Chain A
């Protein structure tokens, strides 16, 4: 028998690999000023209800990947206490991409909801 816990973890992981990038772009699109990793992680933690869906450390590699594909840009600034911080900001290409991703998300969400609720409405 396949353990359901393993399957659930795998499902969560696969789901996260797409949504994380979308969430990060969304957060930085709304942010009034550039944000560094820790603050982004805390902001997302504050918005998520119940048990966290992913480790906060997993956000960082996604931030770097988004930057290397030109959707985000960043700069390092020294902080008063502690190590220097890398501040991320969304680029114009990032905004355009977010627009497309938002449409895809709404479409997908609608489809999944319809199917799970019976689909006869």
Chain B
């Protein structure tokens, strides 16, 4: 028999093994919301033990096995924000495989919202990277420096809580722009613990430290993403705009020691085509890097 809510959640987690990690986190927090609310209500007006009250609540809510089965069944239907939301008309058709030819896929990259999401994310990551990095470095050094004083522990605690919060927000951004499903809510820590126990749990949690590493990593990664993509896009526009720059505004290809260098006229079509191809390749690259970054975020920010 299940003695307390923690035991129920542990069993549920075991039953869900192999599911998407975000689904597991959602299922656990749903179960916790129900069980705690129900238990609070039941324990208030009767004198039964927690285990007895819980067993009748679980009778109504469902056993870990039943609940796990329900989430597994629905998991396939949960889609991240931008990936693809089925309208009623579409959902009646069987799922179509991507049957476009290689060329269709190559040039069709611009029509996929995920491409633009990834591209935006990679450019934004410079800003978010700087913010996260500053916050983490300030927080860590402040916590370490104040550790000798009595306010050291509260500052550390608040800092770690803020890291968890930012991790969740970053998860929402990643899901919306990169299409990788991330948890919608924080897992609760057991409630019957003292402040000190909670503090120790959160400090010992591997997740906390992985989130901190992720936030530090975001800065160099953001700088690299931003530089690479701005350069690539600038190069493509440069190629595409070459004839206009030359003929319309008399701007040379390059200007060294007072000498202007121009391209021969017959080269213009090649720079334009080259620019367009480079833009398309850049977009494909953005998708791949976006996917990679989504995997990284999932590995570091979601509790296993």
Contact = CB atoms under 8 A, between A and B. Distances in A.
A105 B31 CA distance: 30
Interface in A33-67: 36-38, 41, 45, 52, 55-58, 60-62, 64-65
Interface residues of B, number: 33
B71 interface: yes
A115 B34 CA distance: 40
B25 to A, nearest CB: 12
Interface stretch (A22-30, A80-88, A106-114): A80-88
Chain A interface category by residue count: 20 to 34
B33 A68 contact: no
B32 interface: yes
B88 A55 contact: no
Contacts of B185: 76, 84, 86
A121 B143 CA distance: 80
A60 B34 contact: yes
Contacts of A57: 30-31, 34, 61-62, 66-67, 70
B86 interface: yes
Secondary structure dominating the interface of A:
helix
A69 B67 contact: no
Given A57-B62, A65-B74, A82 B40 contact: yes
B60 A61 contact: no
Contact of B33 (A62, A65, A86, A97): A86
Nearest to B77: A65
B47 interface: no
Which of A36, A61, A86 has the most B CB atoms < 10 Å from its CB? Answer: A61
Contacts of B264: none
B29 A65 contact: no
A18 to B, nearest CB: 13
B34 A56 contact: yes
A33 B207 CA distance: 36
B88 A97 contact: yes
B170 interface: no
